[in-house]
Structure 1
């Protein structure tokens, strides 16, 4: 069983004294939508790809696809709404079985406690008329979850997609964070926040109960540069913590706001590498459109407000090629020892799309180049040997460099897709 901790320099995760690269899949709707047989198949497949974390909503995901299963976390009141004071033991027993299945295969469960639709004043709460969780119900619910699941050493994601709109909403998250840390100090905690949001309330930045930062660059086609701009924002927070992009664009997800188009394998790979080399080097989360909502062909799917296009059937979405690209990122971080990468502003090009990072001891440098070009770098890299990696076809090649007046030039490579350049100091 994996028991994660934070590295001494507060930049990445550790497991039994070894750096741990957080490679998560997004499966928000697992506990309400997935049969145990499907779950076993899914776990075995994602394990083969190198995934080691699963991000799951502990309660019903508000935008999950339709399901024939009848699994609800709370009893129903007379008006059909949740009775948040009466937990459904059968639901949580089933969830515990699913977590045990995942943990036995080497996964760390990352459990969302309070998605924003359950909290008053949030953006999702304003779109939905369902009854919100009473503040007085938060502490007993979180205590119950901690008492039941903390033996698996999960990560507790306190909030889900929240925008921290008011003191009333923040109080929910404050209670949940402090309750779970009081009952499960051995488990790591974080906050999943709204897409493109760079600002956290100061009380959470300063709270010692919070262990690492998550941000999401999200699914709006206009704002994909936030993959790297938000990485830099969180990397430079006044309180240093590991940073990761917990929700980049999902593969084959329709653009948000009902804009025509879908994110391709290349799009999601680009978001990953731009995040990883811009300060969010603790790990990365993948998402497939059809897995997160666990969609079955012919079932209902609809998202009020966001308006994404229809998902693929989960069996098709599970096989999207981009998941292997994310697995490759994890392997490259391990093989080349890229732990503790820090952004390095050396790219001399009229674009911010090319991202560069270097290890703390400057023995290794990594550069992501989305479109082939002659690369000029404001550093003398003559002491480095470079490998160029074709990320689309997973091919490795060599490249030569030249240095003049402290400017390094790397000529165009022979690959047609995006590449990662790895430099190792001789």
Structure 2
């Protein structure tokens, strides 16, 4: 039986009956691209950085970097187009070995069952239709996934980067979800949906255990990191929420627009999501890890949304943002936070970019730029400190209060900060 479950507050997870902050790394291409030796190093490094969940595609990622491993789940002549009639057992044996290694290191697996390009009627299958899985093969494949991976107690991400704009796509995912609910009743199930999307079909809504949304890699829509959890909270029954694909570090802006996301951008996406209701966890991504880029490997002819060139995986695994995300988990653990209530209505500044949440007798505020911050409450019995999220320095800050509002004065740092307000000790 799976040892991860939804907490009673319906906002967070428990694992082994203890609060569990879902801190995932995106490694979609693991089963096709990563050698066993590389995998051992990857697991050791990500564990050191604080990650506890791995998001993996059970099928070959359509826009992965070209692989020199040479194993695939189905017969194929070119590594791109598959024969959906039988399985290649070597692929699954190897994938099981990788899962076993990950679980031994303490990682929770989150496995995608059907990425969107395998399903008709999605935006991905309209870009390339060479690998649409026959509908009558879907039950066979989903049962194979359960047979091979269920013993590792994964979370099942039934869809990958998908939309539900056609009935045809909904029917495919309904088939998969029904089988998972029947044959793996104790596992947690969710849907990984496309950037900026907030539609969960009624046919699937009651069968998933928590929500995943994606603020994604579009330069001009990074506000989705806090807008989407607000939308989900108003639109759907209460369940834990996760930003399962915020902007990836050093990912080129989508649609081949010039520029890349830096560590400050990834921190902002994480903290603004968490303080806006998606406090169950967050996912990190490094451009070169998710698609596993190696030196001198030829380019994949399918480029998905069209991002700039990735770094090699050896470079990408050392990006600073991975440590920043581990620091998120560390801070929440240190302050014993397992639930954060968004309270942005208390913000007196004329912006939505600053995010405010409350945890019992503490307030958490994220601000990317330095300014005085007004909170529409009397916080005279609180003390404030600012944590420099770039260099991990800490400063006490002055709070000036009236009976109606409090002003948190400017901190001394130049990058983004997390401000923590905590009640003064009565002693």
Which range, TM-score by smaller chain? over 0.9
Contact 1:127 1:304 in 2 (8 A): no
Correspondence for 1:37: 37
Q: 1:80 to 1:367 in 2, by over 3 A?
A: closer
1:27-72 deviation per Cα after TM superposition (whole angstroms, max 9, x unaligned): 0000000000000000000000110000000000000001211111
> Residue 84 of structure 1: SS of its match in structure 2?
coil
1:169-188 deviation per Cα after TM superposition (whole angstroms, max 9, x unaligned): 11111111111121111211
Q: 1:297 to 1:139 in 2, by over 3 A?
A: same
Correspondence for 2:358: 358
Correspondence for 1:53: 53
Q: 1:2 to 1:335 in 2, by over 3 A?
A: farther
Pairwise mapping of residues 183-194 of structure 1 onto structure 2 (< 5 A)? 183-194=183-194
Correspondence for 1:240: 238
Contact 1:73 1:91 in 2 (8 A): yes
Contact 2:62 2:304 in 1 (8 A): no
> Residue 120 of structure 1: SS of its match in structure 2?
coil
Q: 1:343 to 1:192 in 2, by over 3 A?
A: same
Contact 2:2 2:187 in 1 (8 A): no
Shift of 1:95: 0.2
Correspondence for 2:254: 256
Contact 1:219 1:250 in 2 (8 A): yes
Correspondence for 1:73: 73
| Unpaired segments ≥5 residues, structure 1 | none
Distance in 2 (alpha carbons) for counterparts of 1:97 and 1:81: 25
| Unpaired segments ≥5 residues, structure 2 | none
Structure 2 residue corresponding to 1:277, chosen from 262, 275, 278: 275
> Residue 356 of structure 2: SS of its match in structure 1?
strand
Correspondence for 2:402: 404
Distance in 2 (alpha carbons) for counterparts of 1:36 and 1:95: 10
Correspondence for 1:312: 311
TM-score by length of 2: 0.96
- Mean Cα deviation higher: 158-167 or 400-409: 400-409
Number of aligned residue pairs = 422
Shift of 1:301: 3.6
Distance in 2 (alpha carbons) for counterparts of 1:76 and 1:321: 38
Shift of 1:298: 2.2
> Residue 146 of structure 1: SS of its match in structure 2?
helix
1:212-236 deviation per Cα after TM superposition (whole angstroms, max 9, x unaligned): 0000000000100000000211233
Distance in 1 (alpha carbons) for counterparts of 2:135 and 2:182: 18
> Residue 172 of structure 2: SS of its match in structure 1?
helix
1:394-422 deviation per Cα after TM superposition (whole angstroms, max 9, x unaligned): 11221121111320101001111110011
Contact 1:301 1:310 in 2 (8 A): no
